[in-house]
Every structure is written in structure tokens, then in C-alpha cells.
Structure 1
């Protein structure tokens, strides 16, 4: 089940989970299995565990989950403080398991490192919704929902390619994220795959930052010194993009277009104003956390998703990485994170 856009996708999923219409068109009696809707039903306690909200996107994840849970009278949300320390986050999840919550929503700081605690929950009869950073075993979760890192890079590359397709010997640079994360490699792989469709474009430099404002500024300054002229920049993350834009302004450079990543409100506001190098951002929507709460509630109530013939929720849901430009920014501004 692929969401067409972040906003439309989240809306579609919410509509699906909350549909009051019967599924008669399915032709197999799926309506008898029960579809989750807005009406109060069986009470569900959802345990929510994520990493420390030391980043704009992660903070938005927490807000999306909490706000979504408040929407339902039958949902109680048990949230942990969040931690980037694997051992500490495992301890927090084990506390939720011991409290015998009905369902767990887990965004692990490190999916591989937290696989065992996911398995422990599942073996205890607590279904797990694995949010974004995937566990190493499918047995550690009932459903996975998250973004498409490869698709994020792919769509950024295609957007840049279309902007530069008529420019001879075009040059692009990439400001990546944390290189030891699989998601960073996936974003780069998608970006490189897209650029192969444009033989006139060459990626001349790539530097990895740390998803922070400070690292974005420092690394971008290095890129600008190393490359006296280029035509486009893809920055993996809008938070580190704040620093990157500072370095660009300090260097007095404006000969290129910039594409961001994740979809911050600040980036979207700059795109709308259209008075800087910032021309687009590729979404990695934190609305996935709201959808994870919908999934957890449906699991806890033993219900399915409206609009599908199956009785059960899917095993995985991948969100689409839409490209936000001046032409569609008004549509996406409401889901931009701060």
C-alpha cells in the first residue's frame, strides 16, 4: 500500500482507518471482520517509544503520535522519555512490556540493536508497530510503517535532473547525512540512480554531515571552498540545511539551486518566498507517527483498514517522498515541521 503523497497519503490512511462505510464492494464479507473507525470502541493502551527528540523531525514524530492518540476516546498513550542510548531505550520498552500495554509503537534509535526487545514484545503477545527504522527480523514486528529513503534520493535526483536537463556539463554536489546510517546510503544510492538518466549531469562532490545545524554549516562551507561553481545541491536533511544555508549566505553564492530533505516548515516557507537558492524539499513525513497510532489502535481492537479487502492490516506501509516546490507548497505547509 503506497501513499501517493505525504499529505494525501496520511489523509487517505486516516480515512481508511476511520471509514464508517461498509466494504460491500469487496465481495467477500470483509465488513463482518470490522473496520476501525472514529467511534469509541474497545479501550486500547498503546506504548510509544522513540529516540530522544534532539532533532526537528524526531520532535515532530513525538507530536504527531501524541496528537493522534488524543483524537481517540478509547486510546491511552503510555510514552517513554526517549533515548539515543540503545540500552536505555531497551529498558524503557521493557517497562512498557511489563505494564502489559496492548500494542507497542517503536521507533528504535538503532533497528538492529533493538531487534531482540521487539521479539520479546511479540513473544509476550504484544503486537509491535515498527516505525521507520526497521528491526533486523520481521518476527520482531507485526507491521512496519516508514519513509522511503531510496525513493527520497531518487525523487531529489529526478527533480534536479529535470531542472538541469538542458544545461551542458551541469555539475551537482551532495550534502549527505550520517554516513554510518543505512538510510544515508539509501538516499545517496537513489540520488545516483536518478542522475544516470541525465548524461549531461555529473556529481562532482559529496560530503557527509551529522544532521545538525552546526555540521551542516561547517561541511557546506568546505564544499563551497572545494567547488567554486556548481549548478545544484541536494541536502539530505532540512535541519542541517539551516547551517548549510548560513554557509551559502556567508559565501555570497547563489549560482545554484538547492533541494532539501524531510520537509521542514522553514524550508517550505523559503520555497514559497522564492528569494533564495532553496527551490524544493523532498518529504520524509513525520505524519507516519500518526498513522502508526491508527495502526496500533486497529491492531488492539482486532480490526482492519477500510478500503482493503483483507481482514487484517498490511504487514508494511511505505510512504511516498513527494517533492515540494513553489507550485504545490501551499498544500504541504500544514504538515511542515518546526
Structure 2
């Protein structure tokens, strides 16, 4: 898919390895289950597995000849971010980096504290997966002052100098969801018309902002499609369940739901079930549901006919790519300021195809 926003004109992209179903997309987030996953990488050591800053840690240097990387992840409370963590560990091992990790557990201030602590530990590069694109700015600026290169992963920063930002083109991802809905409604009714629900991601993240822009701009091209409700699902199953429950009570006719990630869609699907509104895929009363990320729950829901499609990312390979860029930068090579990892639309027709397997069902590598 061509870029649909001037914001991404400068993005580098990976040549699509998975064929015509592959879509390049920009600045991400998503997620799945509620269990916590400790660090398991053999090349990694957690500076703070609980997300708490190590207040008494003295500045430390990497062993001679060893590049020491600090990594601050937003949360491990969903599968997508566990995938990012695995990818950072994979990339660090491949590049023979020493890795120090922290988990902010969804707390933006904790992430600032964690990242500042990492900067005091003699790291040679900082990888950030920001919770809040504005709150993280002081950390990026401090790293800039210390001449420590910053690499952002999946979510960006609204300020400071970032050496390289690796993500998916989330504007394009949102547009893909809207176009898919329009196409499905055209098949159902003969023209693009119907009532649609938009469950927005976590407000304050670049991924949510960009996905919403892409979806809203694209769906506006279809004047007979009415977005009857826009509510924040916050990339959270419970919040999305509550939001969708209220929406279903208010609107007796709903044709489709766009979830900004698969946690949003799983929550919506539970609400549809609870309300007795689920109909099989071939029923014209079936509420079409499309999400993003390709989580294990989404894949199961697609096979069960509860979810129609997901626009999958691959957080493991995306994160590993960011670590490759750190190695290149350290070697004096040029790295792209922004790099778009491709996405792939999965539905019941291709979920078990060779093309899908080639792209990678990352969630099968994540255990929670």
C-alpha cells in the first residue's frame, strides 16, 4: 500500500517478502493477555523486572569491547510487548550486546525514572518503547546531552533527537482497516454503506493517534458509511468490553467494528457475545470485526468465526531490526531516521497459508 500521509514520505521500508498481501505500515501499538512475563533472554539482565528504578545503582560500564544497551519497555501486560522484548533480546544476542532492561508497567512517570536510571549505568545506546510520546521527551533530551543515541521502537517521541524509529506505518494500518470494512459492506449490500464502531487505542501514544487518523481519513471517503460511535478502547480488553457493551445498548444496528488493536477487538467480541448479538460469518446480521497485531487470541477468534480479520505486525522481527541499526550506527554506518516494518492482513481464507507462515505468526512464539 502506498503511503497516505506526508508524515511518512521519508520512511525506509522493507521489501515485501510475503507477496501481494503485505502492507507497509508506521508507528505502532497493540497487545493481548494480562499475565506478566519475566526476562528470559540469555543475553539480557533485568535492571528492574518490576519496573522500579534501581535507586542505589552506581554508574557502570560495559565490559571492554562490549556495547551496553539500555531498554525501557512500556509494559509486559500484553503479548505484543512481550514480542518486542523477545525481539530486543534476539537482536542483542545476535549483535553480542550487553542488555539491561526495565519494564514500566504502563506508568509513564515510572518509565521516565527507569530510563534516567539506565542513562546512569554507562550504556552506549538507549532503546525506548514510550508509554507517552510527550512525557518521554525529557529523557530523550537528556540522552542527547550525554551523546547517547536514542532508538525508539513501535512508539515514538514528540521531542528530542531520535537516531532511528522502527515501527509500522500506523496511518496506513488504520486506512487498511477502513478500506477492508468498506469492501466487506459493499459485498454485503452492493454499496459501501452501514453503521460502524471505531474503538480507538490508548490516547497519548503515537500508534493510537496515527491509526485513528488513517482510519478516519479513509472511512470519510464513503459518505454512506456512518461511524455511529468512537470510544477509547485504550488497547485494553476490559475497557473495550465496557465501551462496546454501552454502544450495543445504544445502537440496535451495527455492521462493523474497527479495533485499533486485537485487545480492543477481543473486548468487543465478548460484548457482542454477552449481548446475544453474535451471528455466523455468512449471516447478514454478522457484525464484522477487524483488529490489528495478530495476537494469539485474535488468530483463535478468526478460526472460530468471532473475528473476521487482523492486520498483523511482527514485533519480534521489528525489534530485532532496531538492534541491527544500533550496531550499524556504532560502526559509523548510516541508519534510517524512520523505518517501516511491513504488516500483513490475516483472515480465515489465508490464516493457514504458506504466505502467512512466511510472514511469521509471531504470537505463536510468545508464551504468557
Pairing partner for 2:307 from 278, 282, 295: 278
Alpha carbons 1:44, 1:301 under 8 Å: kept: no
Matched, 1:47 2:58: no
The 1-side partners of 2:328 and 2:209 are apart by 33
The 2-side partners of 1:146 and 1:110 are apart by 15
The 2-side partners of 1:179 and 1:122 are apart by 26
Alpha carbons 2:132, 2:205 under 8 Å: kept: no
In the other structure, the counterpart of 1:292 is 322
Pairing partner for 2:295 from 238, 241, 264: 264
What does the per-residue CA deviation read over 1:286-337, in whole Å, with 9 as the maximum and x for residues that have no partner? 23222212211222233x4xxxxxxx11111123343222333231552135
The 1-side partners of 2:290 and 2:16 are apart by 18
What does the per-residue CA deviation read over 1:209-239, in whole Å, with 9 as the maximum and x for residues that have no partner? 2322211211111121122122211111212
TM-score, structure 2 normalization: 0.72
Q: SS in structure 1 opposite 2:141?
A: helix
Alpha carbons 2:194, 2:224 under 8 Å: kept: yes
The 2-side partners of 1:93 and 1:205 are apart by 37
In the other structure, the counterpart of 2:111 is 89
The 1-side partners of 2:320 and 2:232 are apart by 30
Pairing partner for 1:65 from 78, 81, 88: 88
In the other structure, the counterpart of 2:237 is 213
Q: Within 5 Å, which residues of 2 pair with 1:220-259?
A: 220-253=244-277, 254=279, 255-259=286-290
The 1-side partners of 2:220 and 2:149 are apart by 42
Q: SS in structure 2 opposite 1:322?
A: strand
- Residue segments in structure 2 that go unaligned for 5+ positions in a row: 1-11, 23-64, 280-285
Matched, 1:160 2:181: yes
The 1-side partners of 2:229 and 2:119 are apart by 47
In the other structure, the counterpart of 1:22 is none
In the other structure, the counterpart of 1:195 is 219
What does the per-residue CA deviation read over 1:125-163, in whole Å, with 9 as the maximum and x for residues that have no partner? 2211122322223x4221111222221210101111111
Count residues with an aligned counterpart.
Answer: 295
- Residue segments in structure 1 that go unaligned for 5+ positions in a row: 10-41, 305-311
RMSD: 2.6
What does the per-residue CA deviation read over 1:187-207, in whole Å, with 9 as the maximum and x for residues that have no partner? 222112222333442222222
In the other structure, the counterpart of 2:13 is 2
The 1-side partners of 2:117 and 2:235 are apart by 30
In the other structure, the counterpart of 1:33 is none
What does the per-residue CA deviation read over 1:227-264, in whole Å, with 9 as the maximum and x for residues that have no partner? 21222111112123332222111222222211012221
The 1-side partners of 2:158 and 2:223 are apart by 37
TM-score, structure 1 normalization: 0.78
**Alpha-carbon deviation of 1:81?**
3.5
The 2-side partners of 1:245 and 1:116 are apart by 39
Q: SS in structure 1 opposite 2:13?
A: coil
The 2-side partners of 1:278 and 1:214 are apart by 17
In the other structure, the counterpart of 2:144 is 122
Q: SS in structure 2 opposite 1:172?
A: strand
Alpha carbons 2:261, 2:293 under 8 Å: kept: yes
Q: SS in structure 2 opposite 1:71?
A: helix
Alpha carbons 2:133, 2:205 under 8 Å: kept: no
Matched, 1:334 2:334: no
In the other structure, the counterpart of 1:140 is 161
